[in-house]
């Protein structure tokens, strides 16, 4: 498609990372398809969704990549850090281990991602207060430590899901408009998209 035919002003590649079972796929399906499933099926490798949005009078094409949290897929996952312009770090508020793993995921970002990549912290499953192991204050404190925004979300009850995605998309958009687009990153995203388009995924969370 030529530039004159492009239906969007900017393409943004977002990456969702976090331990297995924290609800990454459920968040993505809620945001992209406005759907939710109770069924837990592990993401195999990586998958993506496309969502076109209007943001501050700009037509934005979001390319949102959903990654597997298991260790055996970690090498696949880290290869997608390159070219990501925004990263959603997701943990489960009912699973302290997944919260503690955020520091490890941040280390992966520092090792594999662009130095300027935008990040946001998401504490998912906030509807399950009776099973909570991580307080809202702990999440906010960790986000403040890294200088990033923080939201507690519920894919099930559709709490703050859109707000989280829009927030990170806006941060990336503002950065790209201030610094100028990075053709290398955007091209890499397109290559990855085409390379993975035929791969099937039976994923949830």
Buried b (16+ CB within 10 A) or exposed e, 14-53: bbbbbbbbbbbbbbbbbbbeeebeeeeebbebbbbbebee
Question: Using CA atoms, how far apart are residues 173 and 171, in angstroms rounded to an integer?
Answer: 5
Q: What is the pLDDT of residue 197?
A: 35
Residue pLDDT, tens place only, 8-39: 889 999 999 999 889 999 999 999 887 666 65
In this structure, what DSSP letter does residue 83 have? T
| pLDDT at residue 135 greater than cutoff 50 | yes
Mean pLDDT within 58-81: 73
Question: Using CA atoms, how far apart are residues 35 and 26, in angstroms rounded to an integer?
Answer: 8
Pairing verdict, β 86-92 and 10-17: parallel
For the chain, how are helix, strand and coil distributed in percent, rounded to 5? 40, 25, 35
- Signed CA dihedral, 12, 17, 22, 24: sign only: positive
**Lowest mean pLDDT segment, chosen from 23-27, 75-79, 193-197:** 193-197
Closest CA to 120 of 157, 154, 77, 169: 169
The contacts of residue 39 (CB under 8 Å, 6+ apart) are: 204
Question: Using CA atoms, how far apart are residues 203 and 205, in angstroms rounded to an integer?
Answer: 7
- For residue 115, the SS3 value is coil
pLDDT band at 81 (very low <50, low <70, confident <90, very high): confident
When mean pLDDT is compared over 49-53, 141-145, 178-182, 198-202, the highest value belongs to: 141-145
Kindly state the tokens that stand for 41: 């099926």
CB 146 within 8 A of CB 106: yes
pTM over 0.85: no
Closest CA to 125 of 148, 105, 99, 145: 99
**Lowest mean pLDDT segment, chosen from 103-117, 127-141, 154-168, 191-205:** 191-205
**Lowest mean pLDDT segment, chosen from 11-15, 32-36, 70-74, 131-135:** 70-74
Question: Using CA atoms, how far apart are residues 160 and 112, in angstroms rounded to an integer?
Answer: 28
Mean pLDDT within 66-73: 60
Kindly state the tokens that stand for 187: 């091209």
pLDDT band at 188 (very low <50, low <70, confident <90, very high): very low
| Superfamily grouping for domain 3-196 | P-loop containing nucleotide triphosphate hydrolases (3.40.50.300)
Residue pLDDT, tens place only, 149-187: 999 999 999 999 999 999 999 999 999 999 864 444 433
Q: Where are the domains of the chain?
A: 3-196
């Amino acid at each position: 498609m030529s530039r004159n035919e492009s239906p969007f002003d900017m393409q943004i590649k977002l990456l969702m990372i976090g331990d297995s079972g924290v609800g990454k796929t459920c968040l993505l399906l809620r945001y992209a398809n406005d759907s939710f499933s109770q069924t837990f099926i592990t993401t195999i490798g990586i998958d993506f969704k496309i969502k076109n949005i209007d943001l501050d009078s700009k037509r934005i094409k979001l390319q949102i990549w959903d990654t597997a949290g298991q260790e055996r897929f970690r090498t696949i996952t880290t290869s997608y850090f390159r070219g990501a312009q925004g990263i959603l770090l997701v943990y489960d508020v009912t699973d302290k281990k997944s919260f503690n793993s955020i520091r490890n995921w941040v280390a992966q970002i520092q090792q594999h991602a662009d130095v300027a990549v935008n990040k946001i912290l998401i504490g998912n499953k906030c509807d399950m207060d009776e099973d909570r192991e991580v307080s809202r204050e702990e999440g906010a404190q960790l986000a403040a430590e890294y200088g990033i925004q923080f939201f507690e979300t519920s894919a099930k009850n559709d709490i703050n899901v859109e707000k989280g995605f829009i927030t990170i998309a806006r941060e990336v958009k503002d950065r790209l408009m201030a610094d100028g687009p990075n053709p290398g990153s955007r091209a890499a995203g397109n290559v990855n998209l085409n390379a993975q388009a035929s791969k099937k995924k039976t994923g949830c969370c």
